[in-house]
Structure 1
Amino acid sequence: MVPGKVATIEDVARAAGVSRQTVSNVINAPSKVREPTQRKVQAAIEALGYSPNAMARRLRTQRTSTIGVRLDAFSGGISGVVLDRFVHALTEHASTRGLRVLLYAARTVDDELRHINEFADGGEVDAIILTNTAPGDPRAARLRERGIPFAAFGRPWGAHDLEKAGHPWVDIDGAAGTRAATEHLLERAGRRIAFLGWPSDSGTGDDRERGWRETIGPRAGDPSAPRLISAETVPEAQAAVRSLLQDNDIDGIVCATDVHAIGAHLAAVRGGRSDLQIVGFDNTAAAEALGLSSVEQLPEEVATAILEMLMGPEGTKISRPPTPTPTGRLVEPELIVR
């Protein structure tokens, strides 16, 4: 170990040749560990001078009144607005229930897993809220393993039955949002409505595309209702729409994000189609400034719903488990017409 470095539970586990959980059991529940293993762990603790946090030993009886939420790395552009609003709303609503919100930075899933272990070892939080959920996400399993209550902003992508996810979650009903956007354009612009979004196999993107497809029906993907693909950048979205307008006189475009919508708007204006009806998704300040209609995700409602799942409608303490039967909820977004 580096001289002067304070020993961690990971150092003890490595020195004793056991898992981190075994070290935690030796400290907090020695009856679960065989005596020879206890002796190895205790020897490593003494050799390294490790001092377990007293709060960890009192975790079952003492609460921290703190909820942990990952703070995403700043990526620039107009993305991330929804999560920023969610964190702001969560902090406000948690405060009224006597809770604090602890923000932590993690650039990778492995970084976040290390944070989860540290929170469990140190007893720093009563619960964690996961964001940016994805198929095969290992964070939920780690939280269950370490015994930390949690809920997720984002559905368990890849689960065949969302109601059997095993943990509470809240997400935006993206399909409902694009369905409302498509119905609006069919009524206001015409029947030739395109969709512009990410490549397939993106959980969020596929969900938003589904609302457009279900509304357009069998024509979805035909020349009268083309499906355009673009990364979430203004130049790529602009290029995709510019190419479309050269051969197709469409009436409107439903977009997976406001970034796509801004690119589509620029292409339409520069292509002499300033009348082209375009609807974005996220309702950012940039879309508002350009006068673009957009789907509002209502992250404040998500924050309220997650706290209710963790604490009950008017509770002031985190439940263990958060709900008797973990449930999921889809929040229907609102179409903002401009």
Structure 2
Amino acid sequence: MGVHPTVEDVAVAAGVSRQTVSNVLNSPAVVRPETRERVEAAIAELGYRPHASARRLRTQKSSMIGIRLDPGTVDGISGSILDRFLHALTEQADAMHLRVLLFTAADPEDEIRQFQRLSEGADVDAFVLTSTFHGDPRTEWLIEHGQSFVTFGRPWGIDDMADPKHLWVDVDGRHGLREATTHLLATGARRIGFLGWPAGSGTGDDRRRGWLETMRDGSGLSDATLETLDVSAEDGVNSGADALRRLEAAAGTIDAVVCASDSLALGALMATGGRIPVIGYDNTPVAASIGFSSVEQPLDEVATGVLELLTGAHGGRMNPGAAITDPRHRLVAPRLVVRDGPPVIAAGH
């Protein structure tokens, strides 16, 4: 047997036909459970990994991946992240002879209607979801209807790391904020504020934890003081400026600020006139052009992880009883991009 086992190798090991192996990979529901288990055991034992372009997702119908075109935020700053992700996903999918179909939806319920229309019409073989949240009805619908899908973002509110029904790729925001806060502490800053989103946002809460854990470990400040340094706001530049003013009113002297987004960071810079260090999150073109530090999400790695989960052993779907040892998720570490910061702006200018 060669280094790379083939479908024929799996068929021989399991004592079945090549077509049965193909059915287990692409349409497992049509295979008897005992036969499917035997084939899955052979796949695991041999370490067989089907080639993405050969598998063409689950049924070799259209090789099409559907993803909603998200409008992003009102100010358009944070929305550029999803634009960059879509570009990376489309470019990498094209290299694998797969295509990406973009669609719009007004809300999660409308997106579910689009799922139904596209899957019933055989237009799309699998879906990629973005902007996941607690109790997301989209993932529940896709699981219930046996659709292949991967989410960019964890299925917040459940046992993310071990849930057998969700395949996901995410950026470790907690790690990113730990890096940002650790950097500021190393410069001598101690009273480091955090501008984040209202509680209940899985992504925002994760980033807040990174700041809070690092401050508890290294700032020497009490929990009561840390509470005054933690301010929430809806995402946006104006909201960031208002949040910074509320932060100073509650905590007094501030040495530096870390933020859950570049939108909030830009608002904080406007409110402070650039007199204290501000670190954003997403490393958008705005952060680069103005010159403030920001945490960068490696979106090429995210796109690679999404396509691996869609086209690899899992095929975008989870069978809790399957003998597949491949990880169900990818958690990608972001990196801090440090810049000198914008010039100091005189108050009122």
**How would you bin the TM-score normalised by the shorter chain?**
0.7 to 0.9
CA contact (8 A) 1:220 1:226 kept: no
Residue identity opposite 1:307 in structure 2: L
Q: 1:228 aligns with which of 228, 231, 237?
A: 231
CA contact (8 A) 2:143 2:165 kept: no
Equivalent residue runs for 1:1-338 within 5 Å: 62-73=60-71, 75-77=73-75, 78-217=77-216, 219=221, 222-223=224-225, 226-245=229-248, 248-269=252-273, 274-312=274-312, 319=315, 321=317, 324=324, 327-338=328-339
CA offsets, 1:77-135, max 9 Å, x none? 11211111111100000000000100011111111111111122111111111111111
Residue identity opposite 2:112 in structure 1: L
TM value normalised by structure 2: 0.72
TM value normalised by structure 1: 0.75
CA offsets, 1:254-294, max 9 Å, x none? 1111111111111111xxxx331110001111111221100
CA contact (8 A) 1:311 1:322 kept: no
CA contact (8 A) 1:69 1:103 kept: yes
Larger displacement relative to structure 2 (324-333 or 76-85): 324-333
CA contact (8 A) 1:156 1:165 kept: no
Larger displacement relative to structure 2 (166-175 or 321-330): 321-330
CA contact (8 A) 1:90 1:300 kept: yes
**Residue of structure 2 in register with 1:18 after alignment:** none
| TM superposition shift of 1:298 | 1.3
Larger displacement relative to structure 2 (154-163 or 257-266): 154-163
| TM superposition shift of 1:169 | 0.3
Cα distance in structure 1, aligned partners of 2:59 and 2:230: 55
Aligned-residue CA RMSD (Å): 2.3
C-alpha spacing 1:228/1:76, structure 2 compared with 1 (3 Å): closer
C-alpha spacing 1:221/1:284, structure 2 compared with 1 (3 Å): farther
Query: Highest Rg: 1 or 2?
Result: 1
Give the number of equivalent residue pairs. Answer: 272
Cα distance in structure 2, aligned partners of 1:111 and 1:81: 23
CA offsets, 1:200-248, max 9 Å, x none? 2211111000000110117365446711222212222212223443562
Residue identity opposite 2:315 in structure 1: S
CA contact (8 A) 2:85 2:303 kept: yes
Cα distance in structure 2, aligned partners of 1:174 and 1:238: 22
Residue identity opposite 2:335 in structure 1: E
CA contact (8 A) 1:189 1:252 kept: no
CA contact (8 A) 2:81 2:282 kept: yes
CA contact (8 A) 1:86 1:299 kept: yes
Larger displacement relative to structure 2 (125-134 or 224-233): 224-233
C-alpha spacing 1:108/1:243, structure 2 compared with 1 (3 Å): closer
Residue identity opposite 2:93 in structure 1: A
**Residue of structure 1 in register with 2:9 after alignment:** none
| TM superposition shift of 1:330 | 1.1
Q: 1:68 aligns to what SS in structure 2?
A: strand
Residue identity opposite 1:173 in structure 2: D
| TM superposition shift of 1:198 | 1.3
CA contact (8 A) 2:295 2:334 kept: yes
Cα distance in structure 1, aligned partners of 2:231 and 2:275: 19
CA contact (8 A) 1:66 1:101 kept: yes
Structure 2: segments with no counterpart, 5+ residues: 1-56, 340-349
Larger displacement relative to structure 2 (210-219 or 175-184): 210-219
Cα distance in structure 2, aligned partners of 1:259 and 1:82: 12
| TM superposition shift of 1:160 | 2.8
| TM superposition shift of 1:189 | 4.2
- Higher RCO (C-alpha 8 Å, min separation 6): 2
Residue identity opposite 2:80 in structure 1: V
Percent identical across equivalent pairs? 47
